[in-house]
């Protein structure tokens, strides 16, 4: 779909790019969480940030701006300890 949107110059190409990049970041976050689970630990010391514009998920260092879409005000998402 991205290729078609790029070819047609359709505005949806921007959102497709965000979605592909955000999913790559999600995969990395999942790998980190899986490695911790296999090590019988948790993400207790990780800060998780979520961009409400593009869906980018950031583990670790805190950012003021989304590295994918440059949205300022990326939100810190607390871990559910329940
Ligand atoms: Zn973003």
CA distances from 38 to 32, 34, 43 (A): 10, 6, 12
Ligand 1 centroid to Cα of residue 4, in Å, is 23
Residue 79's pLDDT band (boundaries 50, 70, 90)? Answer: low
pLDDT in tens, 53-72: 888 888 888 889 998 889 99
pTM reported for the whole predicted model:
0.66
pLDDT, mean over the chain? 84
Q: What spacing in Å lies between the alpha carbon of 66 and ligand 1's midpoint?
A: 5
Q: What's the CATH architecture for 2-76?
A: Single Sheet (2.20)
Instruction: Report how far ligand 1's centroid is from the alpha carbon of 33 (Å).
Output: 21
Separation of 63 CA from ligand 1 center, angstroms?
Answer: 11
For the stretch 1-27, pLDDT in tens is 888 988 999 988 988 888 888 888 889
65 DSSP assignment: B
| Cα-to-centroid distance, 39 and ligand 1 (Å) | 31
Share of residues in the chain with pLDDT > 70 (%): 93
Enumerate the domain spans of the chain. Answer: 2-76
Q: How far is the CA of 75 from the centre of ligand 1 (A)?
A: 10
């Amino acid at each position: 779909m991205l290729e078609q949107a790029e070819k047609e110059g359709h505005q949806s190409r921007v959102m497709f790019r965000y979605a592909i990049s955000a999913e790559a970041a999600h995969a990395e976050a999942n790998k980190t969480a899986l490695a911790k689970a296999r090590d019988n630990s948790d993400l207790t010391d990780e800060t998780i940030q979520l961009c409400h514009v593009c869906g980018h998920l950031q583990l670790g260092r805190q950012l003021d701006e989304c590295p994918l879409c440059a949205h300022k005000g990326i939100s810190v998402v607390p871990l559910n300890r329940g």
